Structure 1
């Protein structure tokens, strides 16, 4: 249910576009307390992830879902509109250049502590138990390494299935044109667990208050249960140059060292 707002305030409120990613999604603040996220990349999976976090890790700073409208797409996933709480603050990306080295380091450690809590969120009982790696709502995984609309990701029953799928996609997209392309299977990392993962943590999705404390983590459309290295590999993917230093701080502050050389190699053709 949407929060109550004074009618006069609603009449005077002018909707403000907070972020816009062409062909993906637009986030609009529609009143003092509410944002509307809509677009081709707004999936039911994001709503499911947000509700799961608020149920099992209420201390994590994520938006509260008020309402949603979804329709089933041709691939079986559901996409549409999510109405959720507005998070007051500035993105880490907008303030990063002005921060001291000590503050940058502290924020990165805080981010890893937040990730540790995310990893503790349990799988929903409604998920197919045979799907070892999965989205939160069981819809097809949309990721260049695993599947798209024309080549939907099959059920991933174990780590070998995950690695085989990544290699099959690599071969399909001409990865063997590289002299070392055949080496990918042995370079892909292995994982002995499936953990809850945000899947798209970067400075633009982290919100801070005036004291540079984390008050929000948004954009959960890529969330699911993935290998333990997946969060790290996603944070280390090629981004805007302004994020290079953040990635280095996150790498240095990481509680564990993951070798994602194979993932980086696969990204030569899967991006």
Structure 2
């Protein structure tokens, strides 16, 4: 109420939690008729960047790299002076202008947008300003396995109800885009490269007793239970299994007990500790590029989309 008294024109949705906003969107979409859903998907929703008008505050969560600072400084350097009364507004204006001036390379009208700021840096604007799992995972991988190609962190800013993650640009195209034109031999080659990358990631271990989920203690995720909640202080296999089975289901309690009983005879659940996991392995999160050499082989240039990554059980 205090925020509304201060600014009666403030956006109400920006005052609610991420989980409420996501549930509200799902409920609205679920109420549409089949024809209306088809029309919505055909016509498309407004460009995500128009929602940046909702942002009236900005906070630097993780320091910006020199490259990002220089980019923003091209629009206005006033925000660099923390003593300036207008420093925050200068930063907000610079961010919005940079996002609008940069070409889109990915967009979801609900989730966010990724823009290419220059040849080295991209900015990922995502709904929600509390979850920093993706950023801390990038920091962790850069330190622990610098030879594995993943985006490198360049700073994070909470901008109103959004977060802007600056990261290095991974060249190439997604495996989803390249897949239809790949030969069987090229697909096998990419498979072997991915096997090596993900097996290497799983060698990064964490001992029993440490929280599962984000590497900086952000908490575990279980999208079947809640798409937006971070479940903190889950440290054991039993606790994580209980979280998974807390998801809403439509079977009887007898059926659920039957499913849970299978875990008692699965030796993989007995392996101690946890391993680093990408969390969202799919062809849209794998970048590939065709080599300019005479062989013209495809190489994996990087793995992206680390927002669901962290330490999880072996199975």
Q: Any conservation in 2 of the 1:66–1:85 contact (CA below 8 Å)? A: yes
* 1:136 corresponds to which of 197, 212, 215: 215
C-alpha displacement of 1:157: 2.1
Looking at structure 2, the residues matched to 45 and 95 of structure 1 have their Cα atoms a distance apart, in angstroms, of: 28
- Flag the structure with more relative contact order, 1 or 2, with Cα contacts below 8 A and sequence separation at least 6: 1
Structure 2: unaligned runs, 5 residues or longer: 1-64, 76-97, 292-297
> What displacement does 1:122 show?
4.9
Which of residues 172, 177, 184 in structure 1 aligns to 2:259? 184
| Stretch of structure 1 that moved more, 55-64 or 39-48 | 39-48
Q: In the superposition, relative to structure 1, how do residues 202 and 2 fare at CA in structure 2: closer, same or farther (>3 Å)? A: farther
- Alpha-carbon contact 2:205-2:274 (below 8 Å) kept: no
Q: CA deviation at 1:209?
A: 1.5
CA distance in 2, matches of 1:85, 1:199: 20
Higher helix proportion: 2
1:95 aligns with 2:182: no
SS of equivalent residue, structure 2 residue 148: coil
Give me the CA root mean square deviation: 3.1
Larger Rg: 2
Structure 1 unpaired stretches of 5+: 74-78, 230-271
Q: TM-score, normalised by structure 2?
A: 0.60
Deviation at 1:179, TM superposition (A): 7.6
**217-226 vs 23-32, greater mean Cα deviation:** 23-32
Cα distance in 1 for residues equivalent to 2:255 and 2:205 = 39
Describe the shift of the 1:5–1:174 C-alpha distance in structure 2 as closer, same or farther (beyond 3 A).
closer
Q: Residues of 2 paired with 1:159 and 1:144: CA distance?
A: 17
Write the deviation string for residues 119-157 of structure 1: whole angstroms up to 9, x where unpaired. 23355xxxx9734422222123332245455x7535222
Check whether the contact 1:44–1:70 (CA below 8 A) recurs between aligned residues: no
Instruction: Please point out which of 237, 240, 252 is paired with 1:162.
Output: 240
SS in 2 for 1:109: helix
Q: TM-score, normalised by structure 1?
A: 0.68
The change in CA–CA distance for 1:21 and 1:143 in structure 2 (over 3 A counts) is farther
Paired with 1:72 and 1:143, the residues of 2 have a C-alpha distance of 26
Q: How far did residue 199 of structure 1 move?
A: 0.6
**Equivalent pairs, count:** 213
Partner of 2:109: 22
Q: Which residue of 2 aligns with 1:111?
A: 194
